[in-house]
Homo-oligomer: A and B are copies of this chain.
Amino acid sequence: MPTINVTDQIAFRADKLNKVSLFEVPQFFVDVYCLEPGQEQKPHAHADAAKVYYVLEGEGVFLVDGEERKLGAGNAVLSEAGDPHGVRNDSTERLTLLVMMAPNPNH
């Protein structure tokens, strides 16, 4: 049974947002994104894939389809297929996100 302790996977990089892969199947991937203060995922879009961000810890500024919203732990954000989306850490604390995208563009 593929299981993973997500907390144990959290790891940051000084130079950029760190994406840690948890699971990859053809139907989706699940990652943890780890953002130091000031780091970001620039807005981008996937024509056929949808994404969910779930805030594990910290506070992120999410940009989806031209809207911007600051959300803390316990909140989830949906980016539908084709929507430009991104996230940045404007805070002074670390930000960790559980991220799921389907279908998996790497397959």
Q: Is the interface of A mostly helix, strand, loop or mixed?
A: strand
Kindly state whether residue A3 has any CB partner on chain B within 8 Å: yes
Pick from B7, B67, B69, B100: contact of A28, CB under 8 Å: B100
One complex includes copies of this chain to the number of 2
Given contacts A62-B1, A102-B102, contact A28 B6 (CB under 8 A): no
Instruction: Identify 8 residue pairs between A and B in the complex whose beta-carbon atoms are under 8 Å apart, listed by A's number.
Output: A3-B62, A3-B71, A3-B77, A22-B76, A25-B50, A25-B80, A30-B78, A98-B98
* CB atoms of A28 and B76 under 8 A apart: no
Chain A positions 1-48 with a Cβ under 8 Å from a chain B Cβ: 1-7, 22-23, 25-28, 30
Q: How large is the interface on A (under 10, 10 to 19, 20 to 34, 35 or more residues)?
A: 35 or more
A90 interface contact, C-beta 8 A? no
